[in-house]
Structure 1
Amino acid sequence: MSIHRVWQQRPAFFRPIQCSLHGDEHLIQTVANVVTSLPFIALGMQAPSAYWNGMMEAAFAKRALKDPDLRMVHNVHKMASLLGGVLFIADDVFPKNSYLHAAWHLAAAVGVGTCNKLLQ
């Protein structure tokens, strides 16, 4: 089997996103692209890092060990997070199945919703 053939048969999640293959054609397009991305850059600077997310997860687990009321909520949070991760990967493996994309959003919403109990 040739290298070219193996390369063409790689899974979708290893393929780069095919946006614009030729880039911006005019200066106005470049300016418009930069201006419309500024809000997302600002939002990204304010987004929580993986470090703080991990710290919150650890605090949730510690409190769940001590507080029996939080134990059930933490179990739901844990399972929703695991299910969301599996569905997220499955969405990449089976891109034509639109229900998987919606399902991982729902699992993520359940996982985030259980964090409210931690704040009480």
Structure 2
Amino acid sequence: MALSRRRRQSGQDTPWYDDEAGRLVRPYTISNGRTRPTAHFDLMTMVMATGRRPASCQGPDYAQVLGLCEGPVSVAEIAAHIRLPAVVTKVLLADLVDCGALTARAPAAVSAGPVACTDRALLEAVLNGLRKRL
């Protein structure tokens, strides 16, 4: 009863989310217990929706991921937005790539230029700042 009261007050309609407790469904339930995606993704892999909505990839989690992928977005960003572990996010993304709803590519490499010099003074200042905060 407290869950439905909290849900009504916050305006959320989903029964799988509680304002205080967060997501009520365990992350690996979403991926059906799978921990290995069928495609290779690292955290910087860029994914983008193709516009296809196949019947095999239906459900609120797939819809949420597809909504985030209207433009190129990294795997890390998607995992942060949907608040799931990266490995579960990779399984969902692999499902969407397998059914043709997403495309994936490695991020473009950026050259450092002719000579990449490291400013020692800058690095020491950053280190000192981190030491003060920690």
Q: With the length of structure 1 as denominator, give the TM-score of the two structures.
A: 0.24
The answer to which structure has the higher helix fraction is: 1
The answer to which structure has the higher strand fraction is: 2
Q: With the length of structure 2 as denominator, give the TM-score of the two structures.
A: 0.23
